[in-house]
Amino acid sequence: MHHFTYKHGVLHAENVPIPDLAAKVGTPFYCYSTATLKRHYDVFRAAFGKLDTAIHFAVKSNPNMAVLRLLANWGSGFDIVSGGELRLVLQAGARPENIVFSGVGKSVEELELAVRSNVGQINIESESEMHTLSTLATKLGRTVRVALRVNPHVDAQTHAKITTGTKENKFGIDWTLTPDLYRKAKALPGLDPRAIAVHIGSQITDLKPFEDAFLRVRDLALMLRNEGFNIDHLDLGGGLGVPYDFSAIPPPLPADYGAMVMRVFGNLGCKLSFEPGRLLVGNAGILVSKVVVLKTGIEKTFAIIDAGMNDLMRPAMYDARHEMIPVCEPAANAASADYEIVGPVCESSDKFASDVTLPTLAEGDLVALLTAGAYGAAMSSVYNTRPLIPEVLVDGDQWAVVRRRPSFEEMMALEQLPPWLA
Ligand SMILES: *Cc1c(COP(=O)(O)O)cnc(C)c1O
């Protein structure tokens, strides 16, 4: 469910007409809907019945300050993966105790910043990191709550580039090694190991891999408890998929995911935390673009739009498909044609869709790529010296640019010629 719908013949974000935004902001731009984000947040929160749960939004999926501020206002915690994200969420209003620090290669400087900031939990991904953190915490006179992130050897059945829980992946500690590391962690000063963390991948569209991983986590928790460890907290990661391609089988609903979680962990008496990213923001954002050129070749008609792979990387990176719709609502009997939807970047992988049938497009038409709120702006770059595109937040009838397009001068501000070339 989202709040990007046609009203009076044009696409709106809640009550704001998209053509008005395009005229004022210029294309391409991202547009986020507060009501959609709130709805997803509430639905996910409600999925776990009476279980004691907490949400830590995965910041990497959408690090926009306004989005983070909304989530902080609603009481969400945050899952961060860098020192930059830590500083960002603190600025957005996060409470330190509601921050979980994940990440496979945290630097000593990042760990120190996290310990000094009193983050609620640090997820340890290797024995080496465990020792570094213990030394650091001891030096700073602190005790840090830690989880060991296990790699449960479960294939998430998602795109290879976003699966994280198999033996081949760099993430987590092999689950068979975890008990031994737990014993070591318990013996180290400055660490308070009470939790187990797991995250097996992203855009997962089947409950089975989640359940397989969660059963392993439960077994591990029971085993460690039998040894006398006080395991009172499980961090179950994110990864639940969202519908991108509306002709495919839809991913499980949060309620089904919640029912499975209750089945696995219902009587364990552990606090459970979740790190959803995509599920909360994916549907809450669209990318608005303009058709720049229509080019008819011998085999195909190319619709070249002004958004490129540098603005929305997912199709090039993950073979992802985003539904594209015209901003002006087509008549029911509108003529249609087959298009290759591509961007202006000088790469053949700069392609959003192949052989899609759409109502006939004209140059200058506005189009919207849907479900672009997660890993969209977050992964964008300035490749081809294209400025990062603006982000707009809508709330009812209100809207604001929450990240503006930089000027060329701002883009160049970090460049300097060496003295011998100046
Ligand atoms: C990326 C990531 C998430 C979020 O994944 P989504 O698929 O966006 O829900 C959660 N936890 C960790 C540790 C991650 O790396």
The answer for 262, left when phi > 0, alpha when psi is -120 to 50, beta otherwise, is alpha
Q: Please give the Cα distance from 342 to 344 (Å, whole number).
A: 7
> What is the percent of the chain with per-residue pLDDT over 70, rounded to a whole number?
100
Please state the domain extents for the chain. 4-31+282-412, 34-280
Confidence of residue 345 (pLDDT cuts 50, 70, 90): very high
To test the pocket of ligand 1, the residue of 275, 280, 371 to mutate (highest count of ligand atoms within 8 Å of its CB) is: 275
Describe the crossing of helices 65-73 and 34-45 by its angle, rounded to 10 degrees.
40
Note the pLDDT tens digit of each residue in 150-205. 999 998 888 888 888 888 888 888 888 999 999 999 999 999 999 999 999 999 99
- Contact between residue 11 and residue 18 where contact means Cβ atoms under 8 Å apart: yes
* Contact residues of ligand 1, CB 6 A cut-off: 58, 60-61, 79, 102, 199, 202, 237-239, 275-279, 374
Whether 34-280 and 4-31+282-412 are alike in CATH topology: the answer is no
The 8-class DSSP code of residue 206 comes to: -
| Active-site residue, 270 included | no
Confidence of residue 420 (pLDDT cuts 50, 70, 90): very high
Q: Please give the Cα distance from 133 to 137 (Å, whole number).
A: 6
Catalytic residue among 31, 270, 328, 346: 346
Q: What is the pLDDT of residue 246?
A: 76
To test the pocket of ligand 1, the residue of 79, 101, 273 to mutate (highest count of ligand atoms within 8 Å of its CB) is: 79
Task: Give 332 Cα–ligand 1 centroid separation in angstroms.
Answer: 40
Query: Which ligand 1 atom lies nearest to the CA of residue 197?
Result: 13
Task: Give 76 Cα–ligand 1 centroid separation in angstroms.
Answer: 15
Looking at residue 234, its amino acid is L
Note the pLDDT tens digit of each residue in 11-51. 999 999 999 999 999 999 999 999 999 999 999 999 999 99
Task: Say if domain 4-31+282-412 classifies as CATH 2.40.37.10.
Answer: yes
pLDDT at 227 > cutoff 90: yes
The two beta strands, 144-151 and 173-174, are: parallel
> What average pLDDT score do residues 362-380 get?
98
CATH of 34-280, one of 3.30.300.180, 3.40.190.10, 3.20.20.10, 3.30.70.330: 3.20.20.10
Confidence of residue 225 (pLDDT cuts 50, 70, 90): very high
> What average pLDDT score do residues 319-338 get?
95
Task: Give 44 Cα–ligand 1 centroid separation in angstroms.
Answer: 15
- Contact between residue 13 and residue 399 where contact means Cβ atoms under 8 Å apart: yes
Q: What is the pLDDT of residue 356?
A: 94
The two beta strands, 391-395 and 271-274, are: unpaired
Q: Is 43 exposed, middle or buried (0-12, 13-18, 19+ CB in 10 A)?
A: middle
Note the pLDDT tens digit of each residue in 111-138. 999 999 999 999 999 999 999 999 999 9
pLDDT at 247 > cutoff 80: no
Task: Give 136 Cα–ligand 1 centroid separation in angstroms.
Answer: 26
Query: Which ligand 1 atom lies nearest to the CA of residue 81?
Result: 15
Q: What is the pLDDT of residue 341?
A: 98
